[in-house]
């Protein structure tokens, strides 16, 4: 067989890549191997470049552990730790290891690049984790490895759980780096459990159980790469095949890929012959680490041809990560991978672009579109950075599950496009049209500035009809072409509690939805009987701030100038009435369910979630509405006929913050209850699923 006759089936990156940042890794790999990889790791850049070495301070900083010199069988000449005299192993608690923080930061970059089309839509984000056995073997003295393995493993699995909570499962792949296990099987490193093979397999199986089936799972098998040398040269691939077969037969979930190393000087049949005994399931991809920089395409093709005598349909990789290589070698490594592989999918394959119906004006010819961007709108747009805006995440996931190419979503009360910002980071290149409808021209103008160049996004202003004492209905602003087509889904986030005439608003939604259309509603200002005893209704904090602030004014000397205002009951009542028009009184869940059903909707699911709000974030939000929160401090043009002066505004903001700190006892955060209501038009009624979602 000619070495070049049969190219490999795609490529796999083991983990580390010595580039400047995760973003640089994603873009570089996408450019050179985007049609040949199914997953892209973040490159383990920065302090993670030397695999597990960055974990050493996690051990040496433990107060219960003491630092000792490396032993004769140490992995590398690095210090180890042992339990200090008199310390109890059960008191050892590992804090953040850094893996979750790194993965979540990298995923944000990955999602942005994917949204912008700079990472292929079909690629998943690959998170590479060492098996807990590796740092324990590397950094713990042999006599204490058995007792320190459980707390370290527990913490690493906690970090994995955090990644699983934060990264969408259909975007995620987890790889367990399996290195020290083969050193133990080869008798190179000491072992703290009696049955070496059984103990290793049990650990690898245990780790797999923590990865849900909808997250891809793979293993990188390794014989070491310290100074590009193995801890032992394997006689053949027999041990690798044995462990691979055991995992394939026992995991009880899909094994999506497995990676086996190939030494550079092995193009002989003896090394590859055990591959004929591989018993992988059809869904498992095999990658052989036969790419070596030192002998380039020619050497890689020799090893590829030798391996193809015993296995077929596999992809290629290097033996280990690239983090310890000079960055100057990376372009050539990428070229070798490209030269010896075939694409997994057509290059540049993309979905047909979304098109609005003929006659639909994305951006209406209206005065608000020509106004400058308002600073209040820009300030409001920053609230998406507040932690409590994670309340949008469940709705984004629901939308991602239901929206298909060609669908139209109305983001009702979409404001500056905060929901759309997050949705675009979740559905990426999915060709969905989104129409943002809002009653604030200032907010819409910010949204237009952000999304005006995106042909998939349209904008509609809902004007106040003074003669009818209501906002325009949705069907009055969509236009005949879009109204004739109908809308596939409508989302209302953090706004339904503000609708004055809720039944008519919901009826207008029903009139524009297609027969199979769906609605996704959520708010933190619904009185939900599922709320926990510690959970606030968000806007009710404003009423509590008012009460606490009055007490502070009566008792704190610094606010004495505003004390007489508390005795002017008519004026105070006017300010409270204005506050209650901005922060409306809270209504019960049943009210919203009745209104939805009365408008022709079938409520299918009602859930509640605990959302944590940082006091500082909520203060920044309320600062934009300070006149409504405590307008009686210093006065307002709306109630008193004159605006508060600069000093009074500073006092008002200081009093709001003082009241919040008093209200929450100086704590940095408080818990809120968010309610989520999903349903569709009432074509086939059925009982709603009312449940408490996990926090």
Mean pLDDT throughout 464-492? 96
Burial of 574 (0-12, 13-18, 19+ CB in 10 A): middle
- For residue 474, pLDDT beyond 90: yes
Q: Which residue would you say has higher pLDDT here, 695 or 608?
A: 608
Annotate 50-87 with b (16+ C-beta within 10 A) or e (fewer): ebbbbbbebbeebebbeeeeeeeebbeeeebbbbeeeb
- For residue 174, pLDDT beyond 80: yes
Burial of 296 (0-12, 13-18, 19+ CB in 10 A): middle
- For residue 692, pLDDT beyond 70: no
- Give the model's pLDDT for residue 225: 72
Q: Which residue would you say has higher pLDDT here, 386 or 682?
A: 682
The confidence band for 380, taking pLDDT boundaries of 50, 70 and 90, is: low
- For residue 296, pLDDT beyond 80: yes
Residue 600, Ramachandran bin (φ over 0: left; ψ between -120 and 50: alpha; else beta) = left
Element (H, E) at 689: strand 689-692
The confidence band for 518, taking pLDDT boundaries of 50, 70 and 90, is: very high
Element (H, E) at 65: strand 65-68
Longest CA span, the chain: 97
- Give the model's pLDDT for residue 695: 47
Nearest by Cα to 381 from 356, 414, 359, 335: 414
- For residue 685, pLDDT beyond 50: no
- Give the model's pLDDT for residue 108: 95
User: What's the CA gap between 534 and 296, in Å, rounded?
Assistant: 63
Among 128-132, 223-227, 420-424, name the one with the lowest average pLDDT: 223-227
Q: Which residue would you say has higher pLDDT here, 434 or 252?
A: 434
- Give the model's pLDDT for residue 691: 44
What strand order describes the sheet that includes 315-318? Answer: 39-41, 124-130, 172-178, 216-221, 257-261, 285-291, 315-318
- For residue 690, pLDDT beyond 70: no
User: What's the CA gap between 103 and 246, in Å, rounded?
Assistant: 29
Yes or no: say if 417 and 458 are a contact pair by the CB < 8 Å rule. no
- For residue 229, pLDDT beyond 90: no
User: What's the CA gap between 594 and 518, in Å, rounded?
Assistant: 17
**φ, ψ of residue 469 in degrees (nearest 5):** 55, 45
User: What's the CA gap between 437 and 412, in Å, rounded?
Assistant: 5
SS3 assignment for 423-457:
HHHHHCCCCCEEEEEECCHHHHHHHHHHHCCCCCE
Q: What percent of the chain has pLDDT over 70?
A: 95
Residue 9, Ramachandran bin (φ over 0: left; ψ between -120 and 50: alpha; else beta) = beta
- Give the model's pLDDT for residue 610: 94
- Give the model's pLDDT for residue 345: 82
3-state secondary structure of 542: helix
pLDDT tens, position by position, 252-287: 999 999 999 999 999 999 999 999 999 999 999 999
The confidence band for 4, taking pLDDT boundaries of 50, 70 and 90, is: very low
The confidence band for 624, taking pLDDT boundaries of 50, 70 and 90, is: confident
Yes or no: say if 175 and 99 are a contact pair by the CB < 8 Å rule. no
Mean pLDDT throughout 127-142? 96
DSSP codes, 145-173: HHHHHHHHHHHHHHHHHHHHHHS-GGGEE
Mean pLDDT throughout 628-640? 92
- Give the model's pLDDT for residue 47: 92
Yes or no: say if 613 and 672 are a contact pair by the CB < 8 Å rule. yes
- Give the model's pLDDT for residue 232: 85
Burial of 385 (0-12, 13-18, 19+ CB in 10 A): exposed
3-state secondary structure of 259: strand
pLDDT tens, position by position, 324-377: 889 999 999 999 999 999 999 876 556 789 999 999 999 999 999 999 988 776
- For residue 1, pLDDT beyond 70: no
Where helices occur in 192-295 by DSSP H, the ranges are 196-208, 238-250, 269-272
3-state secondary structure of 82: strand
- Give the model's pLDDT for residue 386: 67
What CA dihedral angle connects 311, 314, 316 and 318, to 10 degrees?
Answer: -60
- In the numeric block, which tokens belong to residue 470? 């209501």
Q: Hey, which bits of 237-350 come out as E strands? A: 257-261, 285-291, 315-318, 341-342
Strand partners for 608: 675, 692
Computed over every residue of the chain, the mean pLDDT equals 92
Domains of the chain: 8-342 (3.20.20.210), 352-523 (3.40.50.150)
Element (H, E) at 109: helix 99-115
Q: Hey, which bits of 215-372 come out as E strands? A: 216-221, 257-261, 285-291, 315-318, 341-342
**φ, ψ of residue 340 in degrees (nearest 5):** -105, 5
Mean pLDDT throughout 621-625? 90
**Exposure on the CB side of residue 392, measured as CA atoms within 13 A:** 24
- The model's pTM is 0.87
User: What's the CA gap between 322 and 281, in Å, rounded?
Assistant: 29
- Give the model's pLDDT for residue 3: 56
pLDDT tens, position by position, 88-130: 988 999 999 999 999 999 999 999 999 999 999 999 999 999 9
- Give the model's pLDDT for residue 687: 45
pLDDT tens, position by position, 649-672: 999 999 999 999 999 999 999 999
Long-range contacts from 195-203, C-beta under 8 angstroms, 24+ separation: 200/133, 200/243, 201/243, 201/246, 201/247, 201/250, 203/131, 203/132, 203/133
Q: Hey, which bits of 231-372 come out as E strands? A: 257-261, 285-291, 315-318, 341-342
The confidence band for 74, taking pLDDT boundaries of 50, 70 and 90, is: confident
């Amino acid at each position: 067989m000619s070495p070049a006759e049969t190219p490999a089936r795609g490529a796999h990156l083991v983990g580390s890549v010595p580039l400047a940042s995760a973003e640089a890794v994603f873009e570089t790999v996408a450019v050179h191997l985007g049609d040949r990889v199914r997953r892209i790791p973040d490159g383990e850049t920065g302090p993670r470049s030397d695999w597990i070495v960055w974990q050493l301070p996690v051990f040496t900083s433990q107060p219960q552990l003491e630092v000792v010199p490396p032993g004769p069988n140490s992995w590398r000449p690095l210090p180890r730790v042992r339990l200090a005299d008199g310390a109890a192993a059960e008191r050892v608690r590992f804090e953040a290891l850094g893996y979750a923080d790194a993965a979540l930061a990298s995923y944000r970059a990955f999602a942005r690049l994917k949204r912008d089309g700079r990472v292929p839509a079909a690629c998943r984000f690959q998170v590479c984790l060492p098996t807990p056995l590796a740092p324990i073997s590397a950094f713990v003295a042999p006599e204490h490895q058995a007792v320190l393995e459980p707390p370290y493993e527990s913490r690493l699995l906690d970090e994995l759980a955090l990644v699983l909570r934060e990264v969408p499962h259909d975007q995620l792949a987890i790889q367990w780096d399996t290195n020290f296990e083969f050193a133990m099987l080869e008798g190179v490193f000491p072992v703290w459990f009696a049955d070496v093979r059984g103990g290793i397999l049990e650990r690898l199986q245990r780790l797999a159980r923590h990865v849900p089936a909808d997250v891809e799972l793979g293993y990188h098998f390794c014989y070491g790469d310290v100074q590009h040398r193995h801890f032992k040269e394997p006689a053949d691939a027999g041990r690798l095949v044995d462990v691979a077969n055991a995992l394939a037969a026992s995991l009880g979930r899909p094994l999506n890929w497995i990676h086996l190393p190939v030494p550079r000087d092995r193009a002989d049949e003896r090394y590859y012959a055990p591959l004929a005994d591989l018993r992988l399931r059809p869904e498992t991809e095999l990658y052989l680490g036969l790419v070596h920089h030192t002998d380039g395409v020619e050497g890689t093709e020799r090893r590829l041809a030798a391996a193809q005598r015993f296995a077929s349909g596999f992809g290629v990789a290097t033996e280990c990560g690239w983090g310890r290589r000079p960055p100057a070698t990376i372009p050539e490594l990428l070229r070798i991978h490209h030269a010896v592989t075939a694409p997994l999918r057509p290059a540049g394959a993309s979905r047909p672009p979304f098109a609005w119906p003929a006659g639909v004006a994305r951006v209406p010819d209206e005065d608000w579109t020509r106004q400058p961007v308002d600073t209040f709108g820009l300030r409001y747009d920053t609230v998406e950075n507040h932690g409590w805006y994670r309340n949008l995440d469940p709705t984004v996931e629901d939308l991602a599950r239901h929206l298909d190419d060609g669908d139209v979503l109305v983001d009702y009360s979409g404001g500056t496009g905060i929901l759309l910002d997050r949705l675009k980071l979740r559905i990426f290149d999915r060709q969905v049209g989104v129409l943002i409808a809002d009653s604030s021209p200032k907010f819409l103008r910010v949204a237009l500035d952000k999304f005006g160049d995106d042909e998939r996004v349209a904008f509609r202003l809902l004007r106040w009809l003074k003669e009818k004492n209501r906002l325009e209905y949705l069907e009055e602003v969509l236009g005949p072409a879009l109204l004739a087509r109908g809308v596939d889904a409508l989302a209302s986030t953090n706004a339904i509690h503000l609708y004055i005439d809720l039944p008519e608003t919901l009826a207008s939604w029903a009139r524009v939805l297609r027969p199979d259309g769906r609605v996704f509603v959520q708010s933190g200002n619904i009185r939900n009987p599922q709320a926990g005893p510690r959970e606030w209704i968000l806007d009710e904090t404003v009423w509590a701030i008012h009460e606490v602030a009055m007490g502070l004014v009566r008792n704190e000397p610094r606010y004495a100038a505003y004390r007489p205002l508390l005795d002017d009951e008519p004026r105070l009542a006017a300010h409270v009435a204005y506050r209650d028009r901005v922060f409306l009184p809270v209504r019960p869940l049943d009210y919203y369910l009745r209104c939805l059903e009365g408008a022709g909707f079938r409520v299918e699911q009602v859930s509640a979630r605990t959302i944590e709000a940082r006091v500082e974030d909520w203060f920044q939000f309320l600062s934009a509405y300070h006149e409504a929160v405590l307008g009686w401090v210093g006065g307002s043009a709306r109630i008193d006929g004159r605006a508060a002066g600069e000093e009074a505004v500073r006092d008002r903001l200081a009093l709001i913050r003082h009241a919040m700190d008093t209200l929450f006892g100086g704590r940095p955060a408080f818990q809120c209850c968010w309610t989520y209501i999903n349903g569709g038009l009432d074509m086939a009624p059925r009982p709603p699923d009312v449940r408490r979602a996990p926090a």
